[in-house]
Amino acid sequence: MPPTDVQKAPCTYCRSEIAVPAQYAHGDHIKCGSCGTKHKVVRGDRLRLVLADAAPLRDALVQNDQLVTRLEAELAHARGSFGLGANGVGIAVIFALYQVAMKDAPLGKALLVEAVGVAVVSGILLEAANYLFLAKRQVMTRLSAELEEARTEGMHLRQKIREAERV
Ligand SMILES: [Zn+2]
């Protein structure tokens, strides 16, 4: 390629195009005109830019690891605690229905009133179980999404650090 050739590569931070004149050799430093992030020039099959200083990335990775650990613990906690609550309510409902089914008293007004009472209580308990189940699912869905995001971010950080250290 002619020495006057100016190639462009995206900034690793703000993604804006950085013009890299031909006199910039492999490993030379160049700054992003938009955000000021310092890069190193990588001349391989095609021109690329990697971060010049991987230290902030390493700091970010440490924080990211802590976040992942915290989210994993929160998710495990949510799975355990809410589950016990919902199961407890479920068992109470089954126990109430069992009590009614095992009663062989003749169908009278008293049993009818009792059955209605149990039905109402069961309904409330089932609603509570349903509510707990939904609340648990929502918390777990949110935590899973955050964890997924944090792991992806960590993967990107590790990749950027490897790229920065290779030059
Ligand atoms: Zn930039």
pTM of the model: 0.59
Give the model's pLDDT for residue 70. Answer: 96
Give the model's pLDDT for residue 96. Answer: 65
Distance, CA 162 to ligand 1 centroid (Å)? 19
pLDDT per 10-residue tile (average), the chain, 167 residues: 74 93 93 94 90 90 96 88 58 67 60 69 75 83 96 94 85
Distance, CA 53 to ligand 1 centroid (Å)? 14
Query: Residue 21 pairs with which residues in a beta bridge?
Result: 6
Distance, CA 37 to ligand 1 centroid (Å)? 6
Distance, CA 39 to ligand 1 centroid (Å)? 9
